[in-house]
């Protein structure tokens, strides 16, 4: 299957405006009263819009976008929208439970233990086989989860998200006018 992502690069300005509206939705809902229902719909799909922004950033990476700052803007705003809803999910615990359960399940199904091993109950050994990998994986992923939560808290904070959203909207409009915000600012 050939996946052609040039359509994303061709519609970069519209995707930036969509991402900007999703990121700045808390401000836009209050200021644009007649269109607040459209803003609410877009903000409810913020996670999907964030993924769209990051995929678009990957699609335009090798093409000739106006500047590299637009790519960074796509990635930053996409991360803000993606990390906002998932920063509160305990990913480390979920992954640790999954790994511990798979390890204990594998031993239980394929390496059946006798009733006792060296005088230790097989249920206790299964519990140890569950806990050791689960705890190791939890400690590793807890650090990663905390770093992502910190990044998500910073990017998804209202001042940063609104700023990113307004910059995306401005850049999208200027791209439609065949110029770039960053070329204007860097002159």
Sequence ranges of the domains in the chain: 6-87+156-185, 91-150
Q: Which parts of 24-121 fold into alpha helices (H)?
A: 25-31, 36-44, 46-60, 68-86, 91-110
Question: pTM of this prediction?
Answer: 0.70
**What does the pLDDT look like over 121-171, one tens digit per residue?**
778 888 898 999 999 999 999 998 888 888 888 887 888 888 998 999 999
Q: Which band of pLDDT confidence, cut at 50, 70 and 90, is reported for residue 2?
A: very low
pLDDT tens digits along 54-98: 988 888 887 766 678 888 899 999 988 888 777 777 888 999 999
| pLDDT on residue 95 | 92
Taking the C-alpha atoms of 124, 130, 131 and 134 in order, what is their torsion angle to the nearest 10 degrees? 180
* Of 187, 151, 182, residue with least CA distance to 50: 151
Taking CA atoms, 162 is separated from 51, 148, 168, in Å, by: 18, 20, 10
**Nearest in space to 165 (alpha carbons), one of 28, 37, 59, 56:** 28
pLDDT score of 110 = 84
Burial of residue 134, with CB atoms counted within 10 A of its CB: 0-12 exposed, 13-18 middle, 19 or more buried: buried
Structure tokens at 73: 């803007």
């Amino acid at each position: 299957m050939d996946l052609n992502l040039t359509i994303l690069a061709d519609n970069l300005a519209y995707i930036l405006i969509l991402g900007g509206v999703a990121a700045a939705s808390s401000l836009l809902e209050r200021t644009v009263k007649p269109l607040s229902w459209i803003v609410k719909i877009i903000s409810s799909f913020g996670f999907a819009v964030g993924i769209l922004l990051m995929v678009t950033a990957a699609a335009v990476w090798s093409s000739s976008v106006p500047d590299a700052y637009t790519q960074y803007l796509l990635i930053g705003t996409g991360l803000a929208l993606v990390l906002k809803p998932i920063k509160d999910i305990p990913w480390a615990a979920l992954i640790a439970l999954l790994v511990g359960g798979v390890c204990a399940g594998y031993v239980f199904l394929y390496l059946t233990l006798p009733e006792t091993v060296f005088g230790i109950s097989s249920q206790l050994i299964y519990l140890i086989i569950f806990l050791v990998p689960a705890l190791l994986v939890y400690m590793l992923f807890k650090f990663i989860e905390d770093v992502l939560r910190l990044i998500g808290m910073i990017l998804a904070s209202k001042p940063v998200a609104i700023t990113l959203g307004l910059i995306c909207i401005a850049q999208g409009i200027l791209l439609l006018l065949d110029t770039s915000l960053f070329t204007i600012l860097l002159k």
